[in-house]
């Protein structure tokens, strides 16, 4: 009986111990030791995009034109339109027989040389109708006050025709140089200008009045033409001149082999000339592969492109000076 009571008492004690967490190995509940994931991704590099450069707008050459009747017209976007027609009896069908392009300069012929004068430096143009032999009938005043006088604004040579074009309140204008008497710009001309050049030589052009022009960056040149003979608007520069004497001999002459050239100052505008060598020998003949000489010349504060053709009334061209 006593033993039975003792067993019951021990059982009660064990239950109490179990409920109180004592009396036996404790069971540890699993503890989370995981570390929250770390974002190890590298953010994309953002390259700043530079602003798109704004294209410099081309200047609009707006002028006031006065025609032969005295009427004045405002012309915007002035250009010189050049047209060449070269279709002959035999021609290449796949090659153009007409070419057209625009200039933003006036090619001015003085009788002794031709000079390209950009619109952007012109202060005033005066065109007079007079004797063709008058070498001073037209004039162009540059913005610095320099005046270049000549016998004609290049309007046609061979089959090449030029014409002034632009926009007016009546529409597109086309007018020949000979039909205007005056042109004045409505824009502010530039105070400086330096023409680009491709040559490396030097020369002096002796004019009829005894003055001289110093050519820098000079070279032999010919006109660029397509297979049908149409002018395509630019020049090709040669390193030598093929010289054919009146006796039929042909020489390939570089710049340093020529001392000077004396032009024929008659009214025939012949392409023949007298060539003097550095040793003093003189030969008469003409060039086969070029039409003249190109260089740059200072006019006041401007450096402009000048060309000297063989049919000139200038006295001579002295090489390498």
- Using a 10 angstrom Cβ sphere, with 0-12 exposed, 13-18 middle and 19 or more buried, the burial of residue 85 is middle
pLDDT at 15: 45
Note the pLDDT tens digit of each residue in 237-271.
999 999 999 999 999 999 999 999 999 876 555 78
pLDDT for 39: 56
pLDDT at residue number 155? 54
pLDDT at 285: 96
Using CA atoms, how far residue 302 sits from 59, 198, 206, in Å, is 19, 17, 20
| Amino acid 137: pLDDT | 75
Question: Domain residues of the chain, as ranges?
Answer: 59-191, 192-321
Predicted local confidence at residue 266, as pLDDT: 61
Query: pLDDT tens across 201-220, in order?
Result: 999 999 989 999 999 999 99
Q: Is the pTM of this model over 0.85?
A: no
DSSP sequence for 3-38: HHHHHHHHHHHHHHHHHTT-SS---PPP---PPPPP
CB 199 within 8 A of CB 237: yes
Q: How far apart are CA 74 and CA 187, in angstroms?
A: 12
Q: What are phi and psi for residue 271, nearest 5 degrees?
A: -85, -5
Size (the chain), residues? 321
Could you give the 3-state DSSP secondary structure of residue 318? strand
Supply the DSSP string of 113-139, one letter for each residue. Answer: -EEEEEGGGEEEEE-----TT-TTSEE
CB within 8 Å of 174: residues ≥ 6 apart:
81, 163, 164, 165
CA–CA separation, 266 and 69 (whole Å): 35
**What number of CA atoms fall less than 13 Å from residue 173's CA on the CB side?**
27
Token pair of 184 as six digits: 């004045």
Interval 45-77: pLDDT, tens: 566 666 665 556 667 899 999 999 999 999 999
Q: According to the model, what pLDDT value does residue 111 have?
A: 84
Burial class (CB in 10 A: 0-12, 13-18, 19+), 289: middle
Q: Is 195:307 a contact under the CB 8 Å cutoff?
A: no
pLDDT for residue 67: 94
Residue-level pLDDT at 277: 97
Q: Which residues in the chain come in under a pLDDT of 70?
A: 1-58, 129-136, 152, 154-159, 266-269, 321
């Amino acid at each position: 009986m006593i033993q039975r009571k003792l067993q019951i008492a021990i059982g009660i004690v064990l239950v109490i111990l179990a409920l109180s967490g004592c009396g036996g190995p404790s069971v540890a509940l699993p503890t989370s030791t995981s570390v929250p994931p770390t974002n190890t991704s590298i953010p994309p590099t953002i390259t700043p995009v530079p602003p798109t450069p704004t294209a410099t707008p081309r200047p609009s050459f707006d002028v006031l034109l006065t025609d032969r009747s005295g009427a004045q017209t405002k012309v915007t976007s002035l250009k010189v339109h050049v047209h060449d027609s070269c279709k002959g009896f035999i021609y290449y069908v796949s090659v153009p027989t007409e070419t057209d392009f625009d200039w933003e300069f006036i090619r001015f012929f003085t009788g002794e040389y031709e000079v390209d004068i950009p619109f952007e430096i012109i202060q005033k143009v005066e065109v007079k109708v007079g004797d063709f032999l008058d070498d001073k009938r037209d004039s162009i005043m540059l913005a610095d006050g320099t005046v270049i006088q000549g016998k004609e604004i290049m309007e046609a040579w061979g089959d090449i025709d030029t014409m002034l074009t632009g926009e007016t309140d009546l529409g597109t204008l086309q007018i020949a140089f000979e039909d205007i008497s005056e042109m004045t710009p409505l824009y502010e001309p530039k105070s400086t200008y330096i023409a680009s050049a491709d040559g490396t030589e030097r020369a002096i052009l002796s004019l009829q009045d005894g003055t001289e022009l110093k050519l820098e960056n000079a070279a032999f040149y010919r006109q660029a033409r397509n297979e049908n003979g149409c002018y395509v608007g630019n020049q090709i520069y040669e390193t030598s001149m093929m010289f054919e004497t009146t006796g039929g001999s042909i020489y390939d002459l570089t710049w340093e082999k020529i001392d000077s050239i004396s032009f024929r100052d008659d009214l025939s505008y012949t392409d023949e000339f007298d060539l003097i060598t550095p040793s003093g020998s003189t030969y008469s003949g003409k060039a086969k592969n070029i039409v003249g000489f190109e260089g740059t010349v200072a006019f006041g504060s401007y450096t402009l492109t000048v060309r000297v053709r063989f049919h000139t009334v200038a006295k001579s061209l002295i090489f390498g000076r």
